Structure 1
């Protein structure tokens, strides 16, 4: 009996619309529809109304929706302020790392002025008549050395190895990012890292989902982290929230695509998340279109990263 229930659950379950992928506005809309349908059915017969309500809730729980096409309808008709309350886009992160007074104190003690810190350790320098910052030649060389070490030949991988390494396929080869590198970036143990099945690179690091807009962006973050480690032992002491934002900002300084090898430039694009579409300023590979960094054009200078490339 239990095997039949499990098989039925597997047939109904839609992981792309449930769990971490659940669209909250869609769920709310579908629950309201379910209540309305059950009230109509209950007017005919009370038992029928209860059955409709219970069945609808089960479908919403396992499938993420009751009415097909709800994500499209919510994007089209719900006001942006409502969607924004539930969804923050494909590369947003909840980076709040000070749930206790101890963490807040540690953050205050170890936080850095990002631009000054990166200049002091030799990662960036002023350029273009001192109006921008760029990688120093030494750090740029280190970064590409790290990227080269991440590139491996295209090989078949046993699915059982999926949580030991994160493989991101590119047209010019494959980047292999070790789980140990991801866990080091996010101050967690390798055993807590789980690869998420999504259309973009994502891992569960402890209790949080960490995302990147493309496979190239993930590879750059891993290479940046390793390159910065070689410059200063203080890098690992920078608070996690700030460290992650610094990596994102540095990603915007890359001028050659690590995947297709073409130039990198900025363009305004529209990206889609589970519940809405967003206008973003995207730093992207001009030849292959891979996004390296996505920024809200109205909030491009926010965050603790401390500099705006």
Structure 2
């Protein structure tokens, strides 16, 4: 019976590796303050109160109800960093560590994070600098620079323009928004169907994104709904669900034949493109419709509101982006 009571009190979500040090310290201070007040009337009572509080904090991770939520929402990021905690929860943004790079409104139609156009002064300075450099450059240097530029990864600063230029997206027929072109959507789902039949393992995303690594050194791990591509060196990719992973690998395979420059992109750029493209799915890769809404993503010590695209039938999340980075 005593063991059952202890088990009922345990909160694995807030203890062990998941313990939030700021929450623990805050609650210990509260326990000490309460114990001191009780000790003024009864020293034994104060000691018992502190002892009981420490046991609760050990088992549950906190003493005051609601502490994790309050700490995540209102404790300043600077305080979290004092305890070695990253105040930014990990978003499942696909392959690589980059953000989506595509800032959308709720209608998903705003352009992405693109570099601002240079001013006339900056253009003049650049031209002057280029002219000066040219006088000191040999023909072999020029040839080497041209070869290097030709081999460089095509820079993708505006994903919306990229999708439109390659006929991946087009203006929707029935609303002021962008939609997948019928031909690309058909090609994408053909790859999804092929993957569904063959299955997914660690080698699938490594091969799809042209990641130069030994698949044997990686594992595809499932944590709740999320899927992580992990090696001893760390996490190379993080997807919010199997449906999202399936969509990304299939999209990369479809884009390999659809976009002439696809093989020129580095793995991180490919991951950023596929992650953003997932936002435009209107059919879940595992079946059914999708919907957009708001949700909360949490780490041990912080929480943020996100825009989320979710499969209606299975509840699998396809896409998530912090709400405070979305242009409204």
Query: Is TM (by shorter chain) over 0.5?
Result: yes
Helix, strand or coil: the match of 2:92? coil
Write out aligned runs for 1:148-167 (5 A). 148-152=193-197
Output the TM-score relative to the length of structure 2.
Answer: 0.57
Q: Structure 2: how far apart are the matches of 1:109 and 1:203?
A: 24
Report the CA distance between 1:126 and its aligned residue. 2.4
Helix, strand or coil: the match of 2:304? strand
- Residue of 295, 299, 305 corresponding to 1:273: 299
Helix, strand or coil: the match of 2:282? coil
Helix, strand or coil: the match of 1:76? helix
Contact 1:122 1:231 in 2 (8 A): no
Q: Structure 1: how far apart are the matches of 2:88 and 2:59?
A: 20
Unaligned runs of 5+ in 1: 1-13, 35-64, 98-104, 153-174, 302-307
Residue 180 of structure 1 is matched in structure 2 by 203
| Alpha-carbon spacing, 1:122–1:77, altered in 2? closer, same or farther (3 Å) | closer
Residue 294 of structure 1 is matched in structure 2 by 320
What do the CA deviations read for 1:97-147 (whole angstroms, capped 9, x no partner)?
9xxxxxxx9998521243333333332222247842221111100111011
Report the CA distance between 1:284 and its aligned residue. 1.0
Q: Structure 1: how far apart are the matches of 2:322 and 2:270?
A: 20
Residue 159 of structure 2 is matched in structure 1 by 114
What do the CA deviations read for 1:52-76 (whole angstroms, capped 9, x no partner)?
xxxxxxxxxxxxx955435x74443
Residue 3 of structure 2 is matched in structure 1 by none
Q: Structure 2: how far apart are the matches of 1:243 and 1:132?
A: 23
| Alpha-carbon spacing, 1:28–1:80, altered in 2? closer, same or farther (3 Å) | closer
**Residue 198 of structure 1 pairs with residue 239 of structure 2:** no
Unaligned runs of 5+ in 2: 1-11, 29-56, 100-148
Report the CA distance between 1:256 and its aligned residue. 0.8
Helix, strand or coil: the match of 2:325? coil
Write out aligned runs for 1:61-80 (5 A). 68-69=60-61, 73-77=67-71, 79-80=74-75
Helix, strand or coil: the match of 2:250? helix
- Residue of 121, 127, 135 corresponding to 2:180: 135
Helix, strand or coil: the match of 1:293? strand
Residue 169 of structure 1 is matched in structure 2 by none
Helix, strand or coil: the match of 2:323? coil
**Residue 264 of structure 1 pairs with residue 290 of structure 2:** yes
Q: Judge which range, 141-150 or 276-285, deviates more.
A: 276-285
Structure showing greater relative contact order (alpha-carbon pairs closer than 8 Å, 6 or more residues apart)? 2
Write out aligned runs for 1:226-265 (5 A). 226-259=253-286, 261-265=287-291
Report the CA distance between 1:220 and its aligned residue. 0.7
